[in-house]
Structure formats: C-alpha cells, structure tokens
Amino acid sequence: MFKLKRGVTSSTIFSAVLLGLLSMVIPVGQSFAASDAELKQAKKEMRESRKEIRKVMKQAREKVKQAVRGGLVYKTYCVLCHGENGSGDARMSVVHNNLSLNITKQTSEYYEKIILGGGPAVDRSMFMPTWEDELTAEQTQDLVMYLSMVTDADKRGEIVFKTNCILCHGVNGDGMGRASVLFDPPPADLTRSDKNDVYKKMIISMGGEAMGRSSVMPIWSMELSESEIDDVVAYLRKILVVPYPE
C-alpha cells in the first residue's frame, strides 16, 4: 500500500546534505577530495541547479498530493466493490463472484476510460458503473493518479527517490547529483549498480557506514517506511542500464 509519511520532505535531504557540507568544513575522520577551487565551483553549481532540483521535487510532491486526494475519492465511491487499495477483497465481491474486482496495473488512459465510461468502454463488465456524471474532471485525474500509484511499486519508488535522493544521486540516479562533487567516494551511480536488491535494501535502511561504506550515505530507516524502501529498491532496479547482478 502506498503510505504517506509526513515530515519526509526536502528538509530531510537538505539536512543530510548540510551535514555533508558541515563535515566537509570540519572533517570528522572523513576524507574529502575537493580542493578549495573545486569546492567553490561545486557550491556555485549547487546554487544554479537548486532550482531544477526543487522543480523535480515539487512535481513529485504534487503527484503525492494528487494521489492522496484520489484516495479519498476512492474511499467514497469505489471501496465497496473494489476493497481497500483495489485489492478486490470487498463486500460486493460476493455479488460479483464471477468477476475479478481487484484493480490491476494498467495505463492511465485505460483507467480514465473505464472510470468515465464504465466497464463496457474497455470491454469489461457493465457492472462497473460509469462515473462521468458523478465526478469532476479533477477528481477523475486524482483517481487515475491514485490507481497508478497503488498498483505500481516503481511509480511509488520514483516518488520516494525524487523527494529524498536526487540532490546526491542525481535526478536520473546516475550519481551526478549536485552534491556529488563534494564527496569522496561520490554518491553511487545507481543506474550501474552491481549490487542486488537485498544489499540495496540494507544500505538504504542502515546507511553507508553500517555497510563499511561512506557515512555520507544516510540512514533512511527512520525517515522511510519499510514499504517505501521496498518501493525505491524496485525503482532502482528499473533504472538500471546494466544487467541486474545474478
């Protein structure tokens, strides 16, 4: 289930990066490769790109808000037949026992079509009602976002990633985040990771230091729920440009 955690916002990452910056000014047993000139340049680049980072984070947070609103609409109109989070485990499933009422991963266009036009609009059962007269256009879009999120771990993971990790690991996860030049070793290029999901889950939960790696990689188990960590691990697997290590 897509779980919203309050308080895990840009402030988390900014404090993580601030910590990194501080420990660079006052090195605490951490070796940083950046010279003064590099540092100046890096800070300049950080300022310049902060806008872009903010934009990506803002977009990600907007999607979360939209999904939360969609969840409320869902609870009002859909839960009776489709159950919590589209599981299909609902009261009405007894009545429709020859139909599958769980909501599967589909495209946004498909969701929109069936919500507005009912089951027959996508060759499904007419027992799925039309909602065009019931819902506003905004509610429909919110619902579509909600359904996309609850049925797709990658999408949820992308949101977790974009709201917490991009300042270091880069918008695309390639390790080219703006803070990257400040750290040695630099934030990993997650698109070329040779680590498996189990390892990733561990380093994300427990931080770099516990894994014998850089303490610059923060501990996330206090900020993120276990399902959010699973989601972000799923997303990291999706963005790999090298084969997944067997």
Q: Tokens 């993580």 identify what position?
A: 16
CB closer to ligand HEC out of 55 and 77: 77
CB closer to ligand HEC out of 103 and 181: 103
167-176: buried (b, 16+ CB within 10 Å) or exposed (e) per residue? bbbbbebbbb
Q: Which residues bind ligand HEC (CB under 6 A)?
A: 13, 16-17, 20, 77-78, 80-82, 92, 96, 99-101, 103-104, 106, 111, 114-115, 119, 124-125, 127-129, 131, 143, 147, 164-165, 167-169, 179, 183, 185, 187-188, 190, 193, 195, 200, 203-204, 208, 213-214, 216-218, 220, 232
Within 13 A of 159's CA, how many CA atoms are on the CB side?
A: 28
Distance CA 150, CA 71 (A): 9
Residue ranges in the chain assigned as alpha helix (H): 10-25, 36-77, 79-82, 108-117, 137-150, 153-164, 166-169, 197-210, 226-238
CB of 38 vs ligand HEC, minimal distance in Å:
16
CB of 160 vs ligand HEC, minimal distance in Å:
6
Distance CA 104, CA 147 (A): 9
Within 13 A of 108's CA, how many CA atoms are on the CB side?
A: 11
- Alpha carbon separation from 105 to 109, 144, 145, 151 (Å, rounded): 12, 11, 12, 5
CB closer to ligand HEC out of 37 and 94: 94
- Alpha carbon separation from 38 to 42, 48, 167 (Å, rounded): 6, 15, 18
CB of 91 vs ligand HEC, minimal distance in Å:
10
CB of 125 vs ligand HEC, minimal distance in Å:
3
CB of 195 vs ligand HEC, minimal distance in Å:
4
CB closer to ligand HEC out of 13 and 42: 13
CB closer to ligand HEC out of 58 and 145: 145
Other C-beta atoms within 10 Å of 183: how many?
24
CB closer to ligand HEC out of 24 and 128: 128
CB of 41 vs ligand HEC, minimal distance in Å:
18
